[in-house]
Structure 1
Amino acid sequence: MTTVSATSVGRLAVERPAHRDANVLRWLAAYTSSMTGDNVYYIALSWAAVRAGSPAQAGTVMAVSALPRALLMLGGGVVADRFGPRKVVIGSDAVRCAAVLTVAALLFVTSPGLWPLAVLALVFGTVDAVFVPAVGALPARITDKGQLTRVQGLRGLAYRFASVVGAPLGGLGVAVGGAAAAFGLAGLLIAVSVPLLLAVRMRELPPADITGPRDTTAWRDLVAGLRYIRHHRVLAPLMLAIGLGDLGFVGPFNVGLTLLADERGWGASGMGWVLAGFGTGAAAASLLLAVRGRLPHAGHVAAYAILAGSVAIGALAYVPGVVAAAGIALLVGLSAGLSGAMCGALLQTQADPAYLGRVTAVSMLVSLGFAPLSMPLSAAAIGAWGTGPVFVVSAAVCGLGGVLALCVRDLRRAELPR
C-alpha cells in the first residue's frame, strides 16, 4: 500500500484544496466510474430479469441484494477498519467487476434464465455490505480533515453525475447489444476504478488512532465500534438525527411521489420534472460545498437544513401544479443535499479514522436498511388516508431529526475543522 505520513498529507491539503489535489481527484474519478457502473448494472439487471421471468420474479431478483447488504453491513464496517478501506474498496470493485463480466459472457453465449441474475444480485449485495463502509471511510485517509466538507460536496456531484449518465448509458447498452452488452459496459466502468484506486496515496493512522491489538476478534471489534458510537457526544445523536431524517424522506420521495403524480394527473413526465427539480437542488448544494469548502456552525446548518427540508416535504402534497411541485422539490433537494453533506462531513471529522468503517456502516445501515421499510408503510397509509396526511406525518418525522440536532448541545455546537 502506498502511504505517506499524516503530517505530509495535512501539509498537502493546506497547500492544495481538495478539488485541486491530484490524490483526491484520482479517488473522485474512481468513485465516479464505479458509481456510473453501478447505475448501468441496475438497468441491465432489471431489463434482463424482466425479459427472463414474470414481473414478480423480476422484482424478487431486484430485491435479492437488499437482504445480505442489510444483514452484513455492520460486519463490513469491521472489515474496512481491520484491513484498511483502500484495500477493501479495491477488492470489492474487483469482485463486482468479475461477477458482472461473468454474467455478461454467460448471457452472450446462452439464455440461462433467472438463476445467474439472482446469484449476481446476491453477490453484489454481499460485496456492497463491505464496499459501502469502506467507501465512507476512505476520504478521511486521503486528505486533511479541513478538506472533508469539500470532499463531501465533490462526492455528491459525482453521485449525481453517475445517476444522470448511468441510466442512459445502461439503456444505450441494452438497445445496442441487449443485457449482455449493458452488463459488459457496467463491468468495464467498475474495472476503471481499480487502477485509479491503486494510485491513491493513503496516510498512515497516528498511533493514538490505532485501536487495540490486531489479534482481537471481529465480534469484539464490532462491539467496540458500537460502544464507541453510543458514548460519543456528537456521533450518537447525529446517527439518530440522520435516521429520523431519512425515515421521513424516503417514503414520500419514492413511492409517495409516484402516487401523488398519479393522483394529480401529472403523469410520468410531470413526475420526471419534480425529480429533476430535486436533483438540481441536491447538485447545487453539493457544488456550493465543493467550491466553498467549509461552512461555519455546522451543527446549526445541518439542523436548520433538515427542518427546511421537512417543511418542503409537507408542502409538496398541497401544491397546485407541476411547476410549483418542481420548485418545492428544488428546495427539498437543496435542503437534503446540504444536510446530507454536512452530516457526512461531521461523521468524517468527529470519528477517529480507526473507527470510520464501523461508523459509516451504522450510518448506512440506517439509511439503506431501515429507512426503505417506510416505503410499503407509506404506500399503505396513502391508500387509507391520502397523500396529504401521509406527507405531513413524514415531514414531522423528518423534522424531528432537526429538532434533535438543535436540542443536543454538543451536536448543535459541532464545528468542522478549518
Structure 2
Amino acid sequence: MTATVIPSAPASAARPAHRDGNVLRWLGAYTSSMIGDNVYYIALSWAAVQSGTPTQAGLVMTVSAVPRALLMLGGGVVADRFGPRRVVIGSDVVRCAAVLAVAAVLFAAGPGLWLLTLVSIVFGTVDAVFMPAVGALPARVTSRDQLARVQGMRGLAIRFANVVGAPLGGLGVALGGAAAAFGLAGMLIAISVPLLISVRMRELPAHDVDDAHDVDGVDVADDGVGGAGAAEGHARVAADRVAGAHARVAADRAVEDERHVRVAVGEDGAGAVAGKAAGAPAWRDLRDGLRYIRRHRVLAPLIAAIALGDLGFVGPLNVGLTLLADRRGWGASGMGWVLAGFGTGAGVAALLLTMRGRLPHAGRLAAVTILGGSVAIGALAFVPNVAAAIGVALLVGLLAGLSGALCGALLQTQADPAYLGRVSAVAGIVSLGLAPLSMPLTAAAIGWWGTGPVFVTSAAVCGLGGVLALCVRDLRRAELPR
C-alpha cells in the first residue's frame, strides 16, 4: 500500500484543521472506528451475559486488558517503525475481520465463552498496536500549529461515539441479538478503512534548532541572573548543545535523503525508514524511546502529571460515583444525570479547544485545571442533592476535559514526531494500565471508610499532578505552537 506524502506547509499558510478536508477524512475514520468499538463492547457484554455467569462475563470483558497492557510499549515501536497510518489501517482491518467472523459464527450457532474470550484477546492485542499509532497519526495529517485543535476535535469524536455507540449497540441487540450487533460493529469499523486510505500524509518536520532547546527538548535558558560563573557555565553548555544540534541536523538530512527514496516506493514513516535502514533491533528502538522520554524536560514530568491525575480521577468517577449514588439514594437515573453533566462539561472543553485552536500558557493552564478539577472531585462527595452533584460534575468535566486536552496537545507538540508512537504508548499504559487499578481499591476503601475520605484522598492524588506541573519550570512554561 503506497502512502501519499505531501510537503509540510508553513504554519501561516495552513488551513484550520476543522476546515481541512484531509483532517476531516481522518476524523471521520476515527469517529466511525470509535462508534464501532462502542457497539462491539455492547455486543460482547450482552453475549457474555447470555453465555455464562456474571463473573464469567466480567472476565470476558476484562481479559483484553492483559495483552493491551503487556504489549503496548512494543506497539509504540511498531507504530514508529512502520508508520502510524499503515498500522492503523492494518489494525482496523484485523478488528473488522475478527468481529465479522464472530457475527457469522453467532448467526450459525449459539454464543460460546471460548469464542468471546478469543475475540476479546484479539481486540486487546490489536489495541496494543492501534492506540499508539492513533496517538502518532495527527502529526502526519496536519501542521504542528493545528495539533491542539485536532486534539479538541478528537475529544469531540470520542464524546459523540460514546453517546451514539451505546444506543446503536442496544438497537442491534434488540433487532437481531448479539450477532446483529457484532455485524454492525464490524461494518462501522470497516467504514474507517477507505477513509484512512484516502488520507494524505505530511512529511515529518525537520528538527528545529534554536538557542533555547537542545535535541532532547532540554531548556538551556536560565530563570534569572546566577552570577558570572553560572552565566559562563550556561554559555558553554549552550554552545556545546547548539554544536551537537548542528551535528544532529546533518545526520537528519542524510536520513531525510534516504526517506525520500523510500517514499518513492511507498514507505510510510520516517521513523520506520531510519530504523530499517540502520537495521536496528526493535528492543533498541524501545530503549531509545524510553531514554528520549526520560531525558525530555517537558515530556517526562508531563507523563508523570498525567499518571497522577488519572490515578486520582478514574476511581471516583467510575466505581466511586456508582457507590455514592447508591448511598445517597439518587438511583440509576440520578447517577445517569450526573454522568451526563460530566460528559457535557468535557464536550464543552473539547469544543473550546477545537474552535480556539490554541490556548495561551498551556503548561500553566493545564496545571491550574488539574488542581481545580481535583478540588471539584473532592467536593462531589459532599454535595447535598442530585442537582448540586450535576453542577459539580459539569465543572469536573469542564476542568478535566481542558486539562486532558491540553496535556494531550502538549504531548503531540513537544514530542519529536519520529518518537510519537512510543510516547503515546507510554502515556497509554499510564491511562489504560495503571489508572484502572485504582477502581477495585476505590471500591474497597469506600467500604471501609466511606465516600468522603476516599474522594478527598483521590482528589489529593489528582492534585499532585497539578502541583508537579507547576513546580517543574519547563512544563510550567510550555506553550502550544502558534
CA distance in 2, matches of 1:220, 1:33: 35
- Show CA shifts across 1:328-351 (max 9, x none): 000000011100110000000000
Counterpart of 1:45 in structure 2 is 44
- Show CA shifts across 1:286-329 (max 9, x none): 00000011001000110001001000000000000000001000
Q: Give 1:281's aligned amino acid.
A: G
Counterpart of 2:127 in structure 1 is 128
CA distance in 2, matches of 1:334, 1:286: 9
Counterpart of 1:344 in structure 2 is 408
Q: Report 1:292-311 matches (<5 A).
A: 292-311=356-375
8 A contact 2:8–2:203 mirrored in 1: no
- Show CA shifts across 1:368-391 (max 9, x none): 000000001101100000000000
CA distance in 2, matches of 1:15, 1:259: 49
CA distance in 1, matches of 2:3, 2:19: 20
Counterpart of 1:87 in structure 2 is 86
Q: Give 2:8's aligned amino acid.
A: T
5+ residue gaps, structure 2, are 207-251, 257-269
> For 2:480, what is the secondary structure of its paired residue?
coil
Q: Report 1:259-274 matches (<5 A).
A: 259-274=323-338
Counterpart of 1:201 in structure 2 is 200
Q: Give 2:311's aligned amino acid.
A: L
Counterpart of 1:164 in structure 2 is 163
8 A contact 2:81–2:275 mirrored in 1: no
Task: Determine which of 290, 301, 310 is the counterpart of 1:226.
Answer: 290
Question: Which stretch shifts more, 200-209 or 215-224?
Answer: 200-209
Cα gap change, 1:339 to 1:358, in 2 (>3 Å): same
CA distance in 1, matches of 2:111, 2:311: 39
Deviation of 1:203 (Å): 1.2
CA distance in 1, matches of 2:386, 2:186: 38
CA distance in 1, matches of 2:75, 2:29: 20
Which structure has the bigger radius of gyration?
A: 2
8 A contact 1:173–1:181 mirrored in 2: yes
Task: Determine which of 305, 308, 313 is the counterpart of 1:241.
Answer: 305
Deviation of 1:3 (Å): 3.1
- Show CA shifts across 1:159-191 (max 9, x none): 000000000000000000000000000000000
- Show CA shifts across 1:26-74 (max 9, x none): 0000000000000000000000000011111111100110000000010
1:288 equivalent in alignment to 2:385: no
Q: Give 2:141's aligned amino acid.
A: I
- Show CA shifts across 1:361-409 (max 9, x none): 0001000000000001101100000000000000000000000000000
1:333 equivalent in alignment to 2:397: yes
8 A contact 1:174–1:181 mirrored in 2: yes
> For 1:361, what is the secondary structure of its paired residue?
helix
Counterpart of 1:279 in structure 2 is 343
CA distance in 2, matches of 1:95, 1:213: 25
Counterpart of 1:383 in structure 2 is 447
- Show CA shifts across 1:241-262 (max 9, x none): 0000000000000100000000
8 A contact 1:315–1:328 mirrored in 2: yes
Counterpart of 1:3 in structure 2 is 4
CA distance in 2, matches of 1:65, 1:105: 21
CA distance in 2, matches of 1:397, 1:55: 32
Counterpart of 2:180 in structure 1 is 181
CA distance in 1, matches of 2:59, 2:406: 35
Q: Give 1:126's aligned amino acid.
A: T
Deviation of 1:411 (Å): 0.1
Q: How many residues align?
A: 416
Q: Give 1:100's aligned amino acid.
A: V
1:143 equivalent in alignment to 2:151: no
CA distance in 2, matches of 1:77, 1:229: 13
CA distance in 2, matches of 1:28, 1:217: 33
State the TM-score, normalizing by the size of structure 2.
0.85
CA distance in 2, matches of 1:378, 1:27: 37
Counterpart of 1:356 in structure 2 is 420
> For 1:319, what is the secondary structure of its paired residue?
coil
Counterpart of 1:368 in structure 2 is 432
CA distance in 2, matches of 1:213, 1:260: 51
8 A contact 1:49–1:58 mirrored in 2: yes
> For 1:251, what is the secondary structure of its paired residue?
helix
8 A contact 2:8–2:143 mirrored in 1: no
Counterpart of 2:468 in structure 1 is 404
8 A contact 2:14–2:143 mirrored in 1: no
8 A contact 2:343–2:394 mirrored in 1: yes
Deviation of 1:213 (Å): 4.3
> For 1:26, what is the secondary structure of its paired residue?
helix
Q: Give 1:162's aligned amino acid.
A: A
Cα gap change, 1:6 to 1:301, in 2 (>3 Å): farther
Q: Report 1:50-129 matches (<5 A).
A: 50-129=49-128
CA distance in 1, matches of 2:78, 2:347: 31
TM superposition outliers: structure 1 runs of 4+ over 6 Å: none
Cα gap change, 1:332 to 1:42, in 2 (>3 Å): same
Counterpart of 2:209 in structure 1 is none
State the TM-score, normalizing by the size of structure 1.
0.98
Q: Percent identity?
A: 78
CA distance in 1, matches of 2:302, 2:13: 28
8 A contact 1:76–1:130 mirrored in 2: yes
Q: Give 2:27's aligned amino acid.
A: L
8 A contact 1:3–1:204 mirrored in 2: no
1:154 equivalent in alignment to 2:153: yes
CA distance in 2, matches of 1:98, 1:366: 29
Deviation of 1:112 (Å): 4.4
